[in-house]
A and B are shown apart, each in its own frame.
Chain A
Amino acid sequence: MNKRVLFETIRTLVAIGVALLLALIIIFSVSDEPGYALERFLLGPVTNLRNFGNVLEMAIPLIFTGLAISVMFMAKQFNLGAEGGFFFGAVGATALVLTFNLPPVILPVAAIIVGALAGGLGSALPAVLKARMGASELVSSLMMNFILFWLGLFIINNYFRDAMAGAMASHRFPDAAKLTRILPGTRLHFGIFIALAMVVVVYLFLYRSRWGYALRMVGLNIRFAEYSGINTKSVILYSQIIGGMIAGMGGTVELLGMYPRFTWFQLPGYGWDGVIVAIMARNNPLLVPVFAFFLAYLRIGADIMARVTDVPSEVVAIIQGVMIMLVTAERLLAGWRHRMVVKEKMKAAEAAEVEGGGVQHG
């Protein structure tokens, strides 16, 4: 088991190394100061507190959407609605904080609940369509993303718009709604604790609760789940609704932690990032923050490089893509690993032969 972890670590490092090499080649071809650019890319995020704060700030929404997607993918529900859920959750939260005049602490808590409900509502339709008549949740959730986006804009535009603002924007949030900043000199806010708490909650839910067990079995083999007496339809429903709720919470936390008012007139893209994070984490909630951090680090490092050197920021997108693909390339070094396994097992088998018995499983 330890060998496996070791191998995975080495493989990941090699992948990152290869990706960096490619990055270096790209950087060399576009920059006059490649060494400095690469240095900024890799170390920029940790050279000062604010930059590091930026990494953590960005990891927060990625953790939420990563968890949301993990829960849904774990049940083999290919719902890509985290994008819309995130957005619509923020819309719901905006509606709440601008409508009800609640005291601090209570207001953000209420906003997160409403945001979660709004996000859950968004994924409820694909879930119901899937459970009731087997309609592809992939298609309906993709479509729902757009529907939620326009519906959200309609709500903001017609009910919460600040007419005096020069762009599409809601009224300012009351101070009571805002999540406190926790690290002076950065924008890092209380949301990071909520995100990490959600990691634990989702982990316990998936691996320690009966509902999580049912969810995982549906994901592994739905016919087995049905045969075992698990109510598979309800799992299809709740896995997606919970996923949407987590995404909606994420939207709320991001909005109240980072923005003074609702100003998104584009889908923020965290849903797709959540897919990246979830796949890299193999749907394991405990790994979600790790890869959320990784992705955030990559992005912030890239930003810093683009900001202070002559490497255009778009090049960074290419480097990121290569890195994501290589880090998850399972076959990378597979041959080496296989030789390692063979050697070890053959030794074990020979030893077993001496004892006269046969051992197959190591």
Chain B
Amino acid sequence: MEEILAMKGITKVYPNGIVANKDVDFSVRKGEIHAIMGENGAGKSTLMKILFGMEQPEEGEIYYKGEKVILHSPNTAINYGIGMVHQHFMLVPSLTVAENMVLGVEPKKSSVLFDFEKAVQMTEEVSQKYNLAIDPKAIVEDLAVGKKQKLEILKALLRGAEVLILDEPTAVLTPQETKELFEELINLKNQGFTIIFISHKLKEIKQITDRLTILRNGRSMGIHETKAISEQEISRLMVGRDVVLKVDKQPATPGDVVIETKGLSYHDATGKPVVNQMSFRVRKGEIMGIAGVEGNGQGELVELITGLKKPSVGDIFIGGVPVKDLTVKEIRNLKTSHIPEDRMVYGVAAEGTIGENLISDRFDHPKYNGKLLQKVKSLISRSEELIKDYKVKCDGHTQQVNMLSGGNIQKVVVAREFSSDPKLIVADQPTRGIDVGSTEFIRRKLVELRDEGTAVLLVSADLNEVLELSDSLMVMYGGEIAAYFEDASQVDEMELGMYMLGLKTMEQHEMGGATGE
């Protein structure tokens, strides 16, 4: 097969001095699905942004269909037929699907006005042509993530993309949605599209890609045939050592109840119950997993427990203390830790230093404060300890958090939350978008803490993660408990899927002791 595009000797230095790509060679054949792999911060997104004209390299050349091209802006790239679906959605939330679709290539009527009807029609046409169904008149902020992903792909297709770059498209998708996406990608490949696919999930890579390129520390570790390379080899090339994702775990020895909810409900502004009559308990030294398709109330449940939202009905007890009317601070004082779902929104102050981010939960603790001023030295030494213990890759505690890669930012959050000697950890998607090395690290830590007697409530969209880490398991559907398994190791994946999709619901008596009254 011919090479449709090639990048030669690409070097990129960000203004802050970070060398994101160094002398990278990269090429793609027409009609293949080509994976790019690498740890967080390896330079994958940067390389793709260069290919899409969003960043300019310091050195290097790009060839498209054999011709040397200079991509000054996304506009140029689009005109050549390169389309990109970004790691973070590039959508305008308040606009409709159709408006987002045609942004930049707006159809006009009477030569000045925007032709909305035409935009809707264009959207419908392209969505039918590629068999990706979407409602053109829906407002984007109302869409589920899966739909947003589809919209992003359609946007690229509408602009006539022949080469589609997908930067971690599956990170936020449910297994079902991922499956559907893969079908669509294969379909597109069969129609002659070339696809560049970034993912951290080895299984997915193995499943759909033809070849793969591995980046490590901004350098290319070569191009490989997917079939010809083992998972072990891939992770060795990526991280420089073998990675075991299977966490060794002894059976749990649960103790007293740490958290208990009784008839917990939360109604949104429209009065709809988003969390409905949930009663459950988690014990000391136990990891309880919560499985479920995203948007079934898991997020609200976590916010209710951690005090960011107040329940409409019902009670929550942590260590026997009713916490329904307590502030976030007071709940944290009961030794509750929280790994938030979206680290950039809640987990860190991106423009703050690593040190500042590591102390946000204990900055006012008497231990670190005099009468008026803080004990700066002890705060700094605490931060430095955490950076070392959690292997945060950085220059030191004064470095800004937004200069770290995603995985290292997550480590900052985890270090802060795990180090406060918690009795309860509420971990919401703790390894989302994190490379294998860091994932392994965080999972190990969770089990360690459990062994030390912490109760863990683990919410994850990654079924493997839930099944592997949980001692007991709960499935949420429509804000309610659809199933509860006292022993998570006995659960069958297919059966779990049935509960998650609401095809099946357990009766109260099946759930046994941990839930209900």
B174 at the interface (CB under 8 A from A): no
Q: Fill in one digit per residue for A188-218: 1 if any B CB lies within 8 Å of its CB, else 0.
A: 0000000000000000100011100110110
For the complex, what is the distance from the CA of A52 to the CA of B393, rounded to whole Å?
50
- Which of A86-94, A256-264, A340-348 makes up part of the contact surface? A340-348
B41 / chain A contacts, CB cutoff of 8 Å = 360
Q: Contact: B308 with A226, CB < 8 Å?
A: yes
| CB contact list, A30-69 vs B, under 8 A | none
Within 8 A of A (CB), among B299-324: 306, 308
Q: Chain B, 170-205, contact with A by CB distance < 8 Å: what is the 0/1 string?
A: 000000000000000000000000000000000000
| CB of A9 closer than 8 Å to a CB of B | no
| Contact, CB under 8 Å: B376 / A227 | no
Q: Is A229 an interface residue (CB 8 A)?
A: yes
Task: Give complex CA distance A338, B18 in Å.
Answer: 11
Q: Are A227 and B11 touching (Cβ within 8 A)?
A: no
Number of interface residues of B (CB under 8 A): 48
* A331-360 interface code vs B (CB 8 A; 1 in, 0 out): 000100110011011101100010001111
Chain B interface main SS type: loop
Cβ–Cβ contact B217 & A360, under 8 A: yes
Tell me the bound Cα distance from A64 to B109 in angstroms. 57
Interface of A is mostly: helix
Given known A-B contacts A209-B372, A229-B332, A361-B394, A342 and B58 have beta carbons under 8 A apart? yes
Please judge, given known A-B contacts A209-B374, A210-B364, A223-B346, whether A361 and B369 are in contact too, CB under 8 Å: no
Q: Which of B4-55 contact A (CB under 8 A)?
A: 11, 13, 15-20, 22, 41
Residues of B contacting A204 in the complex (Cβ-Cβ under 8 angstroms): 372-373
B336 to chain A, nearest CB (A): 10
Q: Residue of A at shortest CB range from B18? A: A360
State whether the Cβ of B348 lies closer than 8 Å to any Cβ in chain A. Answer: yes
B345 at the interface (CB under 8 A from A): yes
Chain A residues with Cβ below 8 Å from B328 are: 226-229
Chain A residues positioned under 8 Å from B360 (CB to CB): 217, 224-225, 228-230
B292 within 8 A of A: no
Q: Does A362 contact B (CB under 8 A)?
A: yes
The count of residues in chain A whose C-beta lies closer than 8 Å to any C-beta of chain B is 36
User: Given the complex of chains A and B, what is the CA–CA distance between A209 and B16 in angstroms?
Assistant: 29
B340, A227: Cβ atoms closer than 8 Å? yes
A231 at the interface (CB under 8 A from B): yes
B22 / chain A contacts, CB cutoff of 8 Å: 349, 353
Q: Evaluate contact between A361 and B403: CB separation under 8 angstroms.
A: yes
Distance (whole angstroms) from the CB of B318 to the closest CB of chain A: 14
Is the pair B373, A361 in contact by a Cβ cutoff of 8 Å?
no
Which residues of the other chain, B, contact A216 by a CB distance below 8 angstroms? 352, 356
Contact B373 A346 (CB under 8 A): no
Is A220 in contact with chain B by the CB < 8 A criterion? yes
On whether A224 and B327 interact (CB within 8 A), knowing A342-B13, A345-B17, the answer reads no
Is B403's CB under 8 angstroms from A208's CB? no
For B332, what are the chain A residues with a Cβ–Cβ distance below 8 Å? 228-229
Q: Mark B137-163, 1 if CB is under 8 A from A, else 0.
A: 000000000000000000000000000
Tell me whether A345 and B19 are in contact (CB under 8 A).
yes
Check A221 for interface membership: any CB of B closer than 8 A: yes
Q: Is B231's beta carbon under 8 Å from chain A?
A: no
Q: A208-B374, A360-B41, A360-B217 are in contact. Are A217 and B356 (CB under 8 A)?
A: yes
Report the separation of the CA atoms of residues A353 and B219 in the bound assembly, to the nearest whole angstrom: 10
B217 touches A213 (CB 8 A): no
Question: A358 and B218 in contact (CB under 8 A), knowing A214-B363, A229-B332, A341-B13?
Answer: yes
Q: Which residue of A is nearest B336, CB measured?
A: A229
Closest to A357 in B: B217
Contact digits for B347-365, partner A, Cβ 8 Å, 1 yes 0 no: 1111110001001110110
CA A362 to CA B360, docked complex, whole Å: 26
B347 engages A224 (CB within 8 Å) = yes
B338 close to chain A: CB less than 8 A = yes
Chain A residues with CB below 8 A from B393, complex form: 361
Interface of A toward B, CB cutoff 8 Å? 204, 208-210, 213-214, 216-217, 220-221, 223-231, 334, 337-338, 341-342, 344-346, 348-349, 353, 357-362
Interface residues of B (CB under 8 A from A): 11, 13, 15-20, 22, 41, 58, 216-219, 306, 308, 327-329, 331-332, 338, 340, 345-352, 356, 359-361, 363-364, 369, 372-374, 376, 393-395, 399, 403
Given contacts A210-B363, A220-B349, A337-B15, 12 further A-B contacts (CB under 8 A): A204-B372, A210-B364, A210-B374, A216-B356, A221-B351, A224-B346, A228-B328, A228-B360, A338-B13, A358-B216, A359-B217, A362-B395
- 18 A–B contact pairs at CB < 8 A? A204-B372, A208-B373, A208-B376, A209-B374, A210-B374, A214-B364, A216-B352, A221-B351, A225-B360, A226-B328, A228-B361, A229-B327, A229-B361, A230-B329, A341-B13, A358-B217, A359-B217, A361-B18
Smallest CB-CB A-B distances: 7 pairs: A358-B217, A220-B349, A229-B329, A228-B360, A221-B349, A227-B346, A210-B364
